[in-house]
Amino acid sequence: MKRRDLLLAMAAMGAFAPVPALALTEARARSLIDGVVADVNAVIASGKSETAMYSDFERIFARYSDTSYISASAMGVDARRATAAQKKAFSDAFQTYIARKYGRRFREFIGGRLEVTGVRQVKNWFEVDTIAYLQGQAPFNVTFHVSDRTGRDLFFNMFIEGVNMLLTERTEIGALLDRRKGNIDQLIADLRSL
């Protein structure tokens, strides 16, 4: 059988039929954030050292978030002048930095918990609301934005008590870069140690 005949036979049997895309649903968005919440709650309850908890939070961030989108957003317009190697190094350093930064915040949750309270579609992504219950504090909202833009269900933004992570990080990374007189390599080195 010639290759052409084989391809025609496979096409006739439907081997090349288009696979329907599985669009993100409310249930899948909730499931993703349920996974985030379960993993965060498990780390909080683990009794591990702060350093070990940060490593766990970094793994959670890498597993459930669109790190490339978040780091590109944080770098802002400066990404245009960065080399591909600098963008990759920045993304890696930023992931560690953000896990430590938000890990410190989640560390406050020891003895507390997060609960998913609602999901709603916004354009082609979903907003998933959670409530954080901390000991000795009033409950507050943590909201995640979830998309399947990458082909995987991932969160690409988070609001803690109404504070937008993407906007906050873009402002803070911009200020850090300004203090380094625009030196991207210095920013990357410093992010690894913050």
User: What is the distance between the alpha carbons of residues 46 and 59, in angstroms, rounded to a whole number?
Assistant: 15
Residue 11 C-alpha from the chain's centroid: 39
Work out the average pLDDT over 153-162. Answer: 93
The listed CATH number (3.40.190.10, 2.30.36.70, 3.10.450.710, 3.30.200.100) that belongs to domain 26-193:
3.10.450.710
Q: Where are the alpha helices (DSSP H) in the chain?
A: 3-12, 26-45, 50-64, 67-75, 84-107, 165-179, 184-193
Min mean pLDDT across 12-16, 35-39, 45-49, 101-105 is at: 12-16
The answer on pLDDT for 183 being more than 90 is: yes
For residue 191, with 0-12 CB atoms within 10 Å meaning exposed, 13-18 middle and 19 or more buried, which class applies? buried
Chain segment 64-116, per-residue pLDDT in tens: 999 889 999 999 999 999 999 999 999 999 988 988 887 777 666 667 778 89
Q: What is the overall mean pLDDT for the chain? A: 85
User: What is the distance between the alpha carbons of residues 81 and 138, in angstroms, rounded to a whole number?
Assistant: 44
Between the alpha carbon of residue 133 and those of residues 116, 130, 137, 173, the distances in Å are 11, 10, 7, 30
- 67: tokens are 């790190």
pLDDT value of residue 57: 87
**What are the extents of the domains in the chain?**
26-193
pLDDT value of residue 22: 54
The whole-model pTM stands at 0.80
Closest to 145 in 3D by CA, of 33, 68, 63, 37: 33
Work out the average pLDDT over 158-166. Answer: 92
The answer on pLDDT for 26 being more than 80 is: yes
